[in-house]
Structure 1
Amino acid sequence: MATTRMLHAAAAVCAVAVALCAGGIGASPAGCRKHVKKITDYGAVGDGTTTNTAAFAKAVAELSRCADDGGAALVVPAGKWLTGPFNLTSHFTLFLDHGAEILASQNMEDWPLIAPLPSYGRGRDEPGPRYSNFIAGSNLTDVIITGNNGTINGQGQVWWDKYHAKELTYTRGYLLELLYSDNIIVSNVTFVDSPSWNLHPTYCTNVTISGVTILAPVHSPNTDGIDPDSSSHVKIEDCYIVSGDDCIAVKSGWDQYGIKFNMPSQHIVIRRLTCISPTSAMIALGSEMSGGIQDVRAEDNVAINTESAVRIKSGVGRGGFVKDVFVRGLSLHTMKWVFWMTGNYGQHPDNSSDPRALPEVTGINYSDVFAENVTMAGRMEGIPNDPYTGICISNVTAQLAPDAKKLQWNCTDVKGVTSDVSPKPCPELRAAGKPCAFPEEELVIGPPELPKCTY
Structure 2
Amino acid sequence: MATGRIPRPAAVAVALCAAALLAACAGASRAGCRKHVAKITEYGAVGDGKRLNTAAFAKAVADLSERARDGGAALVVPPGKWLTGPFNLTSHFTLYLDEGAEILASQDMKDWPLIAPLPSYGRGRDEPGPRYSNFIAGSNLTDVIITGKNGTINGQGQVWWDKYHAKELQFTRGYLLELLYSDNIIISDVTFVDSPSWNLHPTYCTNVTISGVTILAPVHSPNTDGIDPDSSSHVKIEDCYIVSGDDCIAVKSGWDEYGIKFNMPSQHIVIKRLTCISPTSAMIALGSEMSGGIRDVRAEDSIAINTESAVRVKSGVGRGGFVKDIFVRGLSLHTMKWVFWMTGNYGQHPDNSSDPSAMPKVTGINYSDVFAENVTMAGRMEGIPNDPYTGICISNVTARLAPDAKKLQWNCTDVKGVTSGVTPKPCPELGAEGKPCAFPEEELVIGPPELPKCSY
Q: With the length of structure 2 as denominator, give the TM-score of the two structures.
A: 0.94
- Cross-structure match for 2:23: none
TM-superposed deviation, 1:21: 24
1:317 touches 1:353 (CA, 8 Å); kept in 2?
Answer: yes
Matched residue SS, 2:28? coil
1:210 touches 1:237 (CA, 8 Å); kept in 2?
Answer: yes
Distance 2:393 2:202 in 1: 30
Distance 1:203 1:436 in 2: 31
Distance 1:308 1:15, change over 3 A: farther
What whole-Å deviation, never above 9, does each CA across 1:325-354 have from its counterpart, x for those lacking one? 000000000000000000000000001100
What whole-Å deviation, never above 9, does each CA across 1:396-422 have from its counterpart, x for those lacking one? 000000000000000000000000000
Superposition misfits of 4+ residues, deviation over 4 angstroms? 1-5, 14-24
Distance 1:4 1:233 in 2: 48
1:387 touches 1:414 (CA, 8 Å); kept in 2?
Answer: yes
TM-superposed deviation, 1:31: 1.6
Distance 2:196 2:68 in 1: 31
What whole-Å deviation, never above 9, does each CA across 1:213-240 have from its counterpart, x for those lacking one? 0000000000000000000000000000
- Cross-structure match for 1:68: 69
Distance 1:169 1:379, change over 3 A: same
TM-superposed deviation, 1:29: 2.2
- Cross-structure match for 1:157: 158
TM-superposed deviation, 1:15: 27
2:235 touches 2:270 (CA, 8 Å); kept in 1?
Answer: yes
1:19 touches 1:36 (CA, 8 Å); kept in 2?
Answer: no
Distance 1:19 1:302, change over 3 A: farther
| Aligned length in residues | 446
Distance 1:305 1:400 in 2: 14
Distance 1:322 1:81, change over 3 A: same
What whole-Å deviation, never above 9, does each CA across 1:261-290 have from its counterpart, x for those lacking one? 000000000010000000000000000000
2:395 touches 2:437 (CA, 8 Å); kept in 1?
Answer: yes
Distance 2:15 2:162 in 1: 44
1:18 touches 1:35 (CA, 8 Å); kept in 2?
Answer: no
Distance 1:4 1:362, change over 3 A: farther
Distance 1:34 1:336 in 2: 51
Distance 1:449 1:153 in 2: 27
TM-superposed deviation, 1:30: 4.1
Matched residue SS, 1:245? coil
1:302 touches 1:331 (CA, 8 Å); kept in 2?
Answer: yes
Distance 1:2 1:245, change over 3 A: farther
Q: Which has the higher contact order (CA 8 A, sep 6+)?
A: 1
The runs of 5 or more residues in structure 1 that have no matched partner are 6-13
Distance 2:56 2:236 in 1: 32
TM-superposed deviation, 1:2: 23
Distance 1:34 1:23 in 2: 18
2:194 touches 2:216 (CA, 8 Å); kept in 1?
Answer: yes
What whole-Å deviation, never above 9, does each CA across 1:6-46 have from its counterpart, x for those lacking one? xxxxxxxx99999999999x888242000000000000000
Distance 1:19 1:131, change over 3 A: farther
Distance 1:342 1:43 in 2: 52
TM-superposed deviation, 1:67: 2.3
What whole-Å deviation, never above 9, does each CA across 1:58-107 have from its counterpart, x for those lacking one? 00000000122001000000000000000000000000000000000000
Distance 1:436 1:216 in 2: 35
Distance 1:15 1:413, change over 3 A: farther
2:28 touches 2:72 (CA, 8 Å); kept in 1?
Answer: no
Q: Which has the larger radius of gyration?
A: 2
Distance 2:124 2:97 in 1: 31
Distance 1:104 1:15, change over 3 A: farther
Distance 1:137 1:358, change over 3 A: same
Matched residue SS, 2:163? helix
2:375 touches 2:405 (CA, 8 Å); kept in 1?
Answer: yes
Q: How big is the alpha-carbon RMSD for the aligned residues of Structure 1 and Structure 2?
A: 4.6
2:28 touches 2:71 (CA, 8 Å); kept in 1?
Answer: no
Matched residue SS, 2:17? coil
What whole-Å deviation, never above 9, does each CA across 1:106-142 have from its counterpart, x for those lacking one? 0000000000000000000000000000000000000
Matched residue SS, 1:378? strand
Distance 1:331 1:450, change over 3 A: same
Distance 1:2 1:240, change over 3 A: farther
Distance 1:123 1:432, change over 3 A: same
- Cross-structure match for 1:299: 300
1:53 touches 1:83 (CA, 8 Å); kept in 2?
Answer: yes
Distance 1:16 1:141, change over 3 A: farther
TM-superposed deviation, 1:301: 0.6
Matched residue SS, 1:17? helix
Distance 1:20 1:225, change over 3 A: farther
2:255 touches 2:350 (CA, 8 Å); kept in 1?
Answer: yes
What whole-Å deviation, never above 9, does each CA across 1:283-309 have from its counterpart, x for those lacking one? 000000000000000000100000000
More deviation in 183-192 or 28-37?
28-37
Matched residue SS, 2:291? coil
Distance 1:30 1:377 in 2: 46
Distance 1:98 1:23 in 2: 38
Matched residue SS, 1:454? coil
Distance 2:330 2:3 in 1: 56
Distance 1:47 1:28, change over 3 A: closer
Distance 1:318 1:117 in 2: 17
TM-superposed deviation, 1:4: 16
2:93 touches 2:143 (CA, 8 Å); kept in 1?
Answer: yes
Distance 1:433 1:258, change over 3 A: same
Distance 1:215 1:407, change over 3 A: same
Matched residue SS, 1:249? strand
Distance 1:173 1:86 in 2: 12
Distance 1:439 1:373 in 2: 30
Distance 2:372 2:308 in 1: 12
1:198 touches 1:225 (CA, 8 Å); kept in 2?
Answer: yes
More deviation in 29-38 or 365-374?
29-38
Distance 1:436 1:28, change over 3 A: farther
Distance 2:173 2:313 in 1: 25
Distance 1:363 1:302 in 2: 23
Distance 1:237 1:20 in 2: 40
Distance 1:422 1:66, change over 3 A: same
Distance 1:163 1:33, change over 3 A: same
1:83 touches 1:104 (CA, 8 Å); kept in 2?
Answer: yes
Matched residue SS, 2:186? strand
The runs of 5 or more residues in structure 2 that have no matched partner are 21-26
Distance 1:109 1:406 in 2: 53
